Amino acid sequence: MTLGRRRGRFNWPGWVERLSLSSGPDVMGLLVAQGEVSVKALEAFASWSKGAGLDSAQLVRNLEHAADDARHSLVAALKQSLATPIGQEDLFVLSERCDRVVNRVKNIVAESEILSWSPDAHAAEMAELLRSGMESVLSGFKSLTARGDATGDAALSATHCVRGVEHEYRRSMAQLSAEPDLRRVFNAREMYRLYAGAAEALEALSDRLWYAVLAEP
């Protein structure tokens, strides 16, 4: 049997690729699993930002570790996979950027303790938008291998949440101009910027989700 070439490489028969996908690790399932624990971390973060206290702060830390474990499982599976339903690079980058969002919110919790800062209404609103955005990303993960517009719609929804965080960030910074306590102004500005940084990480994740959609034939 003569094998044709595609882009300079052998174009293996379709049954070989199907066998690789069916017998290899479930990389899409592992990406979804990472997305699920990431949503839980953002839920805990939103609760903490609404004043839930130390238990929620510890839960954010615990879930960040669980998200790291989920990412490591996916990366290990990618090493064993001969073929994947979407590009390996897309899977790796989506996982890395998802992990980055969770790391950012964990760092917010840690920084708040250093500054003795308690979340306020602005922080609660931004955290809720971050949670909603991560839920949209998870929805996009689940629909990545399906035909249709669901994944693109999920990425767009996540981007809308990012814009909401940006709006609330500007609103919160503007209101600080009337605050007479300079120490509180400094601490609040620092913390608001960290929330905005988490939104930037979420935007980078949603952008890559868009790219994964466009990269598929």
Distance CA 92, CA 168 (A): 31
Structural domain that includes position 82: 25-215
Q: 7: buried, middle or exposed (CB in 10 Å: 19+, 13-18, 0-12)?
A: exposed
In a domain, 125, yes or no: yes
- Tens-digit pLDDT profile for residues 15-71: 334 434 455 789 999 999 999 999 999 999 999 999 998 899 999 999 999 999 999
pTM (two decimals): 0.87
- Residue 18 counted as domain residue: no
**Domain membership flag for residue 42:** yes
pLDDT digits (tens, 9 = 90+) for 116-153: 999 999 999 999 999 999 999 999 999 998 867 999 99
Residues 156-185 have pLDDT tens digits of 999 999 999 999 999 999 998 887 888 889
Q: Is residue 1 part of a domain?
A: no
Q: Which of 125, 122, 187, 114 is nearest to 161 (CA)?
A: 125
- The reply to whether 170 falls in a domain is yes
The answer to whether residues 18 and 78 touch, using CB atoms and an 8 Å cutoff, is no
Is there a domain that residue 109 lies in? yes
For helices 182-215 and 121-142, what crossing angle results, to 10°?
10
Please name the residues in contact with 30: beta carbons below 8 A apart, sequence gap of 6 or more.
70, 73, 74, 77
**Token pair in block for residue 191:** 């913390």
Say how many domains are in the chain.
Answer: 1
Please indicate, yes or no, if residue 3 is contained in any of the structural domains: no
The CATH code of the domain that includes 170 is 1.20.58.220
Buried (b) or exposed (e) across 140-163, using 16+ Cβ within 10 A?
A: bbbbbeeeeeebbebbebbbebbe
Task: For residue 7, tell me if it sits in a domain.
Answer: no
